[in-house]
Amino acid sequence: MSNPAYFTRYENLAFDRTDDGVLTMRFHTDGGPVTFTGQTHEDLPKALEDVALDTDNRAMILTGTGDVFMDSIDGDSLGEIFKPLVWEKIRREGLAVLQRLLSLPIPVVGVANGPATVHSEYLLLNDIHVASERATYGDFPHPAFGITAGDGLQVVWEEIAGTARAKWLLWTGETIDAATAERWGVVNEVVEHDRAYDRGMELARTLAAKPALYRSLQKQTLNQHLLRRIVEGVPFGMALEGLTAADLAYRK
């Protein structure tokens, strides 16, 4: 059976699927660790829609390439984010990614194969979250750029780790290691670095073997509250983030 067209459609996303229906979606740039760009931001909601519509997918692993989940971003590639029409496109895409991750009709296992200091919320939204012992978590771009973290980090970290911890992480720009993330309830399992992906595959195969309707409806049952928080909090948060982006451009 040939692979579906979307497997090679997206510049920063690589796909592979086992015979029993476990799809791996891997962030990358030219086959190495990903640098997140405006193109990645635009492609991701489309790719997740492709995944959702492909009935051969029974479970998914979300991970990075090499020893990094995601720790680099090309801010300039996002365009003139201080302009309302440009920011509105980013706002729509950002909300769509989070909604679609939560609404996929299949369970998703996140594998943090290394530092996750850009868009760590993607991992936290997964149904099961496995981390390499080398994984670290935090928010590099927003404190570095001086832009409010309103694109979902604030909602997801507060829901998963608690308000005080989310405030500390997003105010300070500090990182936490995998053991701390497990203690905070952010990670389900921390495993040896070389075993992280294999452990994710073990879990994903177990989930993929469950009945299709159970997989889909269990996904909806367990994510209802978090999805509601995303829909309520992210559009407002990204509007505030856009204001700080405009202020940054003004101050330059």
The string of pLDDT tens digits covering residues 91-103 is: 999 999 999 999 9
pLDDT digits (tens, 9 = 90+) for 105-121: 999 999 999 999 999 99
| Whole-number Å distance between alpha carbons of 47 and 8 | 11
Among 93, 121, 158, 159, the active-site one is: 121
Taking Cα atoms as reference points, which of 228, 212, 217, 200 lies closest to residue 64? Answer: 200
Which of 145 and 37 is assigned the larger pLDDT?
Answer: 37
Run of H or E including 132? strand 128-132
Q: Over 80: is that where the pLDDT of 71 sits?
A: yes
Q: What is the pLDDT of residue 148?
A: 94
Mean pLDDT to the nearest integer, 167-186: 96
Q: Residue 252: pLDDT band by 50, 70, 90 thresholds?
A: low
* Structural domains present in the chain: 5-251 (3.90.226.10)
> Whole-model pTM?
0.96
Percent of the chain having pLDDT more than 90?
94
pLDDT over threshold 90, residue 217: yes
Of residues 74, 79, 85, 81, the one with CA closest to residue 247: 81
Q: Which of these, 75, 86, 87, 44, lies nearest to 240 by C-alpha position?
A: 87
Task: Quote the pLDDT of residue 145.
Answer: 86
CB–CB of 125/75 below 8 Å?
no
Mean pLDDT, range 74-80, rounded to an integer: 94
What confidence tier does 250 reach under pLDDT thresholds 50, 70, 90?
confident
* Distance between CA atoms of residues 49 and 43, nearest Å: 10
How would you class 1 by CB atoms within 10 Å of its CB: exposed for 0-12, middle for 13-18, buried for 19 or more?
A: exposed
Helices 163-172 and 153-161 cross at an angle (nearest 10°) of 140
Helix or strand run (H / E) with residue 120: none
Given a cut of 70, whether residue 1 has pLDDT beyond it is no
- Mean predicted confidence (pLDDT) in 147-162: 96
The 10 Å Cβ neighbour count of residue 103 is 14
Does the annotation mark 159 as catalytic?
no
190 and 179 Cβ atoms separated by less than 8 Å? yes
Alpha helices for 2-148 (secondary structure H):
38-53, 84-103, 121-124, 141-145
Structural contact between residues 217 and 107, judged by C-beta atoms closer than 8 angstroms: no
Q: What is the mean pLDDT of residues 66-88?
A: 95
